[in-house]
């Protein structure tokens, strides 16, 4: 009974280990998402938003009262005097040393909604900063895609090399038997042993490259991936869209909006400014210039100023912004043409790879027949082992080409979406 229980535990452990291994899969999308979240530049978004919050508070504070504390002590060589003599009345004499301590308060009543225009400009600047960040992340995304496809190719190449190695080992045993029977010379065995050693070197290089690629992926994505993981390339469907999603294009649009916000801010700057003000203080003299005593004083009032003529300065400032907007229009047009050319080239690559894949199996089948014929000729002593190995290598090369064509097809589809800004 105990033996039976132990067997069940062993079976369960094996099943769990197999299940865990099967879970060691990760998709290209998961790696890209993790990279976009964990790459240091991504943290700038929070900092930009924090910056916007502070700037918005500053703009709002511009509508709050301005309070200024003033203090002054002076000495002057003469003071105001009334050269009038009235019998029985002594005119007060003012001191030449004077002192003032006061508070000035000014509250904007209307200033052309400068604060509102400033807040809108800050928001647009924040959007532009985030788009610049996304442009930097775009290049990181390209790098991570190249690394992942490098690992996928590496894994497929290793499978083919292992399969080829197995075949070489089988042929080595057959050739050893032919050499023992005197059908082939010993040099034939040396040739296939040499091929086996070269294969071991290739497999080592492939394994080492895979370790290097995965380390780079870990550094960029922050994921704890190792060589046991299977990399899954998601199925992507290509769609043509007239709406451009690239961060570079979005940045140009945001820059144009920013120019519009600057125009509004300029208009607000040249509108009338109405404000209330007040002064409260203590000093000598106060507002009564005929009194030489320290006294309290205050003043309340309303002010108005308006730059009614600025020699077309406002007009010229707006013209400069409008010209800059037209320059961005040309940049947008040039960018779209560049994107169109890239997409056309990638689409040609997709068509090309699809055509190559259609004939890959035919090439492999024909080369397999040639290989089988070469094997018969080798056993008959008609060709050398080196000639036979050459046909084996061609067959493996054709199989590798098929893998390359499939991977390049998937990579082209991913690049198509990446160029569109949809990935």
Q: What is the pLDDT of residues 286-328, one digit of tens each?
A: 888 778 889 999 999 998 888 877 778 888 899 999 999 999 9
Is 53's pLDDT higher than 80? yes
Q: Which residues contact 189 (CB under 8 A, 6 or more apart)?
A: 172, 175, 176, 179, 385
Q: Stretch 333-338: mean pLDDT, rounded? A: 94
Confidence of residue 88 (pLDDT cuts 50, 70, 90): low
Residue 8, in any domain of the structure: no
CA dist., res. 148 & res. 418, Å (int): 15
CA-wise closest residue to 120 among 258, 269, 321? 258
pLDDT of residue 315: 87
User: In the chain, what is the straight-line distance between the N-terminal and C-terminal CA atoms, in Å?
Assistant: 58
Is 19 inside a domain boundary?
no
Name the residue among 100, 70, 89 with its Cα closest to residue 287. 100
All residues at 6 or more sequence positions from 117 whose CB lies less than 8 Å from its CB, including other chains = 261, 264, 265, 267, 268
pLDDT category of residue 20 using cuts at 50, 70 and 90: very low
Closest by CA position to 151, among listed 21, 23, 31: 31
Let me know: does 98 contact 285? Beta carbons within 8 Å. Answer: yes
Q: At what angle do helices 247-269 and 114-180 cross, to 10 degrees?
A: 170
**For residues 376 and 369, what is the distance between their CA atoms, to the nearest angstrom?**
11
In this structure, the strands spanning 230-232 and 25-27 are parallel
Q: What is the mean pLDDT of residues 403-414?
A: 94
Alpha-carbon distance of 362 to 405, in angstroms, equals: 14
Residue 369 contacts residue 314 (beta carbons within 8 Å) = no
Please indicate, yes or no, if residue 394 is contained in any of the structural domains: yes
Q: What are the pLDDT digits (tens) for 125-182?
A: 999 999 999 999 999 999 999 999 999 999 999 999 999 999 999 888 888 888 888 7
pLDDT score of 17: 37
Q: Which residue has the higher pLDDT, 231 or 235?
A: 231
CATH number for the domain harbouring residue 212: 1.20.1600.10
Domain assignment present for residue 84? The answer is no
Q: Is 307 helix (H, G, I), strand (E, B) or coil?
A: coil
SS3 84: coil
Q: Is residue 190 pLDDT above 60, yes or no?
A: yes
Predicted TM-score of the model (pTM)? 0.79
Q: Write the burial class of residue 44 (CB in 10 Å: 0-12 exposed, 13-18 middle, 19+ buried).
A: middle
Half-sphere exposure of residue 338: CA atoms within 13 angstroms, side-chain side: 10
Q: Is residue 6 part of a domain?
A: no
Q: How many domains does the chain have?
A: 1
Vertex 419, ends 418 and 422: CA angle to 5°? 50
pLDDT at 129: 94
Q: Comparing 91 with 396, which gets the higher pLDDT?
A: 396
Residue 398 Rama label (left phi>0; alpha psi -120 to 50; beta): alpha
pLDDT tier at 90, thresholds 50, 70, 90: low
Domain that includes residue 98, residue range: 26-74+94-420
- Joined together, the tokens standing for residue 264 give 């509004």
Count how many residues are written for the chain: 423
51 in any annotated domain: yes
Please determine, for residue 19, whether its predicted confidence score (pLDDT) is greater than 50: no
For 113-131, what is the mean pLDDT?
A: 91
Percent pLDDT > 90 in the chain is 59
Q: Please check whether residue 20 lies inside any domain of the structure.
A: no
Residue 156 token pair: 């497929």
Residue 10 above 50 pLDDT? no
Residue 251 in tokens: 């940045």
SS3 423: coil
- The per-residue pLDDT of the chain, averaged, comes to 87
Handedness of CA 141, 142, 147, 150 (dihedral sign): positive
148-162, 196-210, 302-316, 362-376: least confidently modelled range: 302-316
Inter-residue contact 281 to 298 (CB < 8 Å): yes
Question: Does 202 score more than 70 pLDDT?
Answer: yes
C-alpha span between 96 and 294 (Å, rounded): 13
d(Cα 191, Cα 170) in Å, to the nearest integer? 14
Is residue 345 in a domain? Answer: yes
Q: Which helix (H) or strand (E) holds 74?
A: strand 66-75
| Cα 286 to the center of its chain, rounded Å | 64
């Amino acid at each position: 009974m105990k033996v039976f229980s132990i067997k069940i535990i062993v079976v369960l452990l094996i099943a769990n280990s197999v299940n865990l291994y099967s879970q060691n899969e990760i998709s290209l999308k998961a790696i890209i998402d993790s990279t976009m979240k964990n790459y240091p530049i991504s943290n700038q978004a929070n900092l930009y938003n924090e910056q916007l919050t502070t700037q918005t508070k500053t703009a709002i504070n511009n509508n709050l009262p301005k309070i200024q504390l003033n203090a002054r002590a002076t000495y002057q060589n003469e003071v105001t005097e009334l050269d009038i003599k009235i019998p029985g009345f002594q005119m007060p004499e003012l001191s030449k040393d004077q002192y003032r301590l006061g508070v000035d308060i000014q509250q904007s009543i209307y200033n052309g909604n400068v604060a509102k225009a400033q807040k809108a400009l800050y928001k647009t600047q924040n959007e532009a900063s985030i788009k610049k960040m996304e442009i930097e992340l775009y290049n990181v995304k390209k790098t991570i895609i190249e690394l992942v496809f490098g690992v996928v190719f590496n894994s497929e190449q290793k499978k083919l090399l292992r399969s080829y190695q197995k075949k070489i080992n089988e042929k080595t045993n057959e050739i050893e038997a032919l050499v023992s029977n005197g059908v082939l010379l010993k040099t034939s065995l040396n040739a296939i042993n040499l091929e086996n050693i070269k294969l071991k070197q290739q497999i080592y290089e492939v394994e080492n490259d895979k370790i290097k690629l995965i380390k780079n992926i870990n550094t960029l994505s922050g994921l704890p991936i190792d060589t046991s993981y299977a990399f899954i390339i998601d199925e992507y469907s290509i769609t043509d869209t007239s709406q451009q999603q690239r961060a570079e294009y979005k940045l140009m649009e945001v820059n144009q909006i920013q120019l519009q916000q600057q125009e509004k801010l300029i208009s607000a700057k040249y509108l009338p400014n109405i404000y209330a003000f007040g002064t409260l203080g203590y000093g000598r003299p106060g507002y009564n210039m005929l009194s030489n005593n320290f006294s309290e004083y205050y003043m309340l009032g309303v002010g108005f100023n308006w730059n009614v003529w600025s020699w077309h300065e406002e007009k010229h400032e707006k013209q400069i912004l409008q010209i800059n907007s037209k320059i961005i229009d040309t940049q947008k047009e040039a960018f779209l043409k560049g994107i169109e050319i890239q997409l056309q080239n990638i689409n040609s690559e997709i068509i090309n790879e699809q055509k190559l894949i259609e004939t890959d199996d035919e090439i492999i089948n024909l080369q397999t027949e040639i290989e089988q014929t070469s094997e018969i000729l080798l056993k008959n002593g008609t060709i050398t082992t080196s000639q036979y190995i050459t046909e084996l290598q061609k067959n493996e090369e054709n199989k590798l080409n098929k893998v390359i064509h499939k991977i390049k097809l998937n990579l082209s589809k991913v690049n198509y979406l990446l160029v569109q800004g949809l990935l």
